[in-house]
Structure 1
Amino acid sequence: MNIQKLKIQPDENINIEPIKPKQHFEILDGLRGIAALAIVVFHFMEIVYTPEKNFIAHGFLAVDFFFCLSGFVIAYAYHDRIAKMKLTDFFNLRLIRLHPLVIFGSVLGLLAFLFDPFGGHAQTYETGKILLVFLSSILLIPFPVMADRYFNLFGLNAPAWSLFWEYAANILYALFLYKLSRRSLFLLTVFAAVGICFVSNRAGGSLLGGWSGETFWDGGARISYSFLAGMLLYRSNWIIKSQLGFIGLSVLLLLAFLLPFSNLNWLTEPVVVLLYFPLLIALGAGAKLSSGFRKICVFFGKISYPLYMTHYAVMWMFANYYAKYKPDANQLFFIITLGTIILLGFAYLTMIFYDIPIRKYLTERKKKA
């Protein structure tokens, strides 16, 4: 394999132009879908097994992969035009892309909380408190007050914690990050890398944090490095050309999630986040996609966000089911496999009948306005 510079033209501020506007990185879309599936399986498994016995114990690192990929994609999509845009236009575009599923996931979480067939604690909450939790969820305001849900930042839709930080990164990008020279961006990324190592050390050697009130700032450290690293990949103007296709890169990505949980987490997790994920994105941007996998990658890319934002309502119900019935290993295999397939199908329906139509309507309305 060889490293190839992206074709660029001078720019008055940072001397680059982005890669061809019509180019689309289908393999990266496919890898996003693989990461989303991995995190669904991880969430099932963490309810049942301790990290030492969880075969996908590092599935939570998929969030760091999302963050890094987001930095790359945002820089690619907006670098050449954001200076000419109004801030309100940029924020509206990001809201249209992200927030419909924030709201939908919150509604699902509320319904699952109120009507969980396997139990739960809805009756112990006052109506006013439930309403506040729901409003904070749809407005993406951290509100870690649900003790029986381990003080998640968003008790009705736990994965929304990463969307909170995604919004923060987008805001900072539009305000000043896009203006940074490559040198300044590199130095800031190095500083953020030190932050990752500090968080890992403080947390006893693991980066599994950011989702709760107690670990709130861990999420800031995780997105700070990965988002900046993704930007730096794009702004450094290089991709890695190789013969690796979608299958090869998917295997390499899964290896990161399948790393055993051990006393070496203090080393392996930072290495994966700091070096391995940026490398995979550089490889994915330069790999060739065979025509046979194109539709799969496009589908995985489209389904990844709906799957991520709608799956966790089922996890709380599954946790209550498991606590009540204690199914054996064979039953768990069947439940988790079937559950993952059903969640994938539900995410597809959500995408077709809710997310795409809503975003299309909001986009057309914005154009008319």
Structure 2
Amino acid sequence: MSTNLNNELATKPHYPILDGLRGVSAIIVVTFHLTEPLGTGHLDILVNHGYLAVDFFFLLSGFVMGYAYDDRWNKMSVGSFFKRRIIRLQPMVILGMTLGAIGFYFTDSTIWPLIHTIPLWKMMLVLLIGYTILPIPLSLDIRGWQEMHPMNSVGWSLFFEYIANILYAVWIRKFSKTALTILVIIAAIALAQLAITNGDVSGGWTLNVEQVRIGFSRTLYPFFAGLLLSRISKPTRIKNAFLWCSLLIAMVLYMPRIGGAEHLWMNGIYESVCIIIIFPLIVYIGASGVLQTPREHRICKFLGDISYPLYLVHYPLVYFYVAWISNHKGITIVQAWPYALLILVGGIVLAYATLKWYDEPIRKWLREKLG
């Protein structure tokens, strides 16, 4: 990639509110993972729709991808695009997997009886595969949760993010608005069918046919709907957009489960409406928003800066928390909240530290070395 293109991409007008919303969503993801082990099942988790933040991330990613790259392909090769994405994504993937491996044998719990029977060479093999973000087969499931990435569970969404990036760069970036609209409509129908049939869209982290289908369904609509939105929307100027969007995303993700076990389809309809209609609306409002004070700029910048590192480093901490919960049967939210708060605050501190001392320096070094 030429120096001129790098400069153009760096100086293109930015959407700071979307960065802030990514950070808000990342924090809600952490609270979801901290309340998840306190529920008796997927119907009564306190932060019951927190997993939808991943679908929101995909939509944000598609929007930003279209905005940043759609008009650059006459100056940029597919290889240069992939180089930029690897530099952006892989350093934190590698760190997150490493943190998971460091803590692997220390997360002793009755829910992971396999851990102390796993030889070091097998754990290292899973770690090395994890560094590539490729999923492991079920035969290498060393934790017992049937995860694609036992070192760091959230790696599954990065795997599908890469697939969406590849589809965009190799093929779908060439689509006309009409062709892209047709693709998005088909993907929306597939997503709604999944949600209404299953009662939710939760899943995508296991390498089997059903879970991979869920992963693709959760990725294709939001990512390419975000891309379409970047092409057809004409943002206006909306005051207090960050506040209203943050409240809206929190309301959506903290909404209790709807319909219960008797009416799973009701919750499926809710999640379909959220992903297909409400999330694009939030992104549009956020892209149209105007930050009015330096304080708002600082908040959005901080939240945007920590969002990706927080997503990648928090789950290795959550493994310890889940092990503690499982080893103390009957723990309530009242007893657990101080530890949960410690994990949340510690995760944010760790995310900021890794951003400044690892991620940014590594990415700068890679850009200088790789051009």
State the TM-score, normalized to the length of structure 2: 0.89
1:294 alignment partner in structure 2:
297
1:256 alignment partner in structure 2:
252
CA distance in 1, matches of 2:223, 2:279: 11
* Preserved contact between residue 241 and residue 285 of structure 2 (Cα < 8 Å): no
CA distance in 1, matches of 2:135, 2:193: 23
2:349 alignment partner in structure 1:
345
Q: Secondary structure at the match of 1:248?
A: helix
CA distance in 2, matches of 1:46, 1:123: 24
Residue 123 in 1 paired to residue 116 in 2? yes
* Preserved contact between residue 307 and residue 347 of structure 1 (Cα < 8 Å): yes
1:283, CA displacement in angstroms? 0.4
1:269, CA displacement in angstroms? 0.3
CA distance in 2, matches of 1:252, 1:114: 40
Which residue among 29, 38, 41 is the counterpart of 2:28?
38
CA distance in 2, matches of 1:19, 1:100: 20
1:108 alignment partner in structure 2:
99
1:19, CA displacement in angstroms? 12
1:144, CA displacement in angstroms? 4.4
1:318 alignment partner in structure 2:
321
* Preserved contact between residue 9 and residue 68 of structure 2 (Cα < 8 Å): no
* Preserved contact between residue 36 and residue 46 of structure 2 (Cα < 8 Å): no
Q: Secondary structure at the match of 2:123?
A: helix
Which residue among 283, 286, 304 is the counterpart of 1:284?
286
1:200, CA displacement in angstroms? 1.6
Deviations 1:325-352 (A, max 9, x none): 2444322111111210111001111101
Aligned CA-pair RMSD: 1.9
Residue 363 in 1 paired to residue 367 in 2? yes
Deviations 1:4-30 (A, max 9, x none): xxxxxxxxxxxxxx9996311111100
1:316, CA displacement in angstroms? 1.5
1:176, CA displacement in angstroms? 1.6
- The structure-2 alpha-carbon separation of the partners of 1:328 and 1:190, relative to structure 1 and needing over 3 Å to count, comes to closer
Which residue among 233, 237, 254 is the counterpart of 1:237?
233
- The structure-2 alpha-carbon separation of the partners of 1:52 and 1:98, relative to structure 1 and needing over 3 Å to count, comes to same
Where does 1:58-77 land on structure 2 (aligned, <5 Å)? 58-77=49-68
- The structure-2 alpha-carbon separation of the partners of 1:358 and 1:61, relative to structure 1 and needing over 3 Å to count, comes to same
1:213, CA displacement in angstroms? 2.5
CA distance in 1, matches of 2:165, 2:223: 9
Which residue among 156, 159, 162 is the counterpart of 1:164?
159
State the TM-score, normalized to the length of structure 1: 0.90
1:105, CA displacement in angstroms? 0.6
* Preserved contact between residue 240 and residue 282 of structure 1 (Cα < 8 Å): no
Which residue among 218, 221, 233 is the counterpart of 1:222?
218
Deviations 1:265-316 (A, max 9, x none): 1110010000100000000000111212110101100100000011111111
2:199 alignment partner in structure 1:
205
One-letter amino acid of the counterpart of residue 129, structure 1: K
Between 1:242-251 and 1:356-365, the stretch displaced more is 242-251
CA distance in 2, matches of 1:331, 1:341: 17
Residue 138 in 1 paired to residue 131 in 2? yes
CA distance in 2, matches of 1:340, 1:149: 25
Which residue among 64, 78, 82 is the counterpart of 2:69?
78
Deviations 1:176-232 (A, max 9, x none): 211111011100100111110222234x21100111224122111111000110011
Q: Secondary structure at the match of 2:337?
A: helix
- The structure-2 alpha-carbon separation of the partners of 1:91 and 1:19, relative to structure 1 and needing over 3 Å to count, comes to closer
CA distance in 1, matches of 2:347, 2:49: 21
Residue 55 in 1 paired to residue 43 in 2? no
* Preserved contact between residue 115 and residue 143 of structure 2 (Cα < 8 Å): no
Q: Secondary structure at the match of 2:235?
A: strand
**Structure 2 gaps, min length 5:** 1-7, 260-265
* Preserved contact between residue 57 and residue 260 of structure 1 (Cα < 8 Å): yes
* Aligned structure 1 segments of 4 or more residues deviating by more than 6 angstroms: none
How many residues end up aligned between the 2 structures? 349
1:359, CA displacement in angstroms? 0.2
1:147, CA displacement in angstroms? 6.4
Identity %: 36
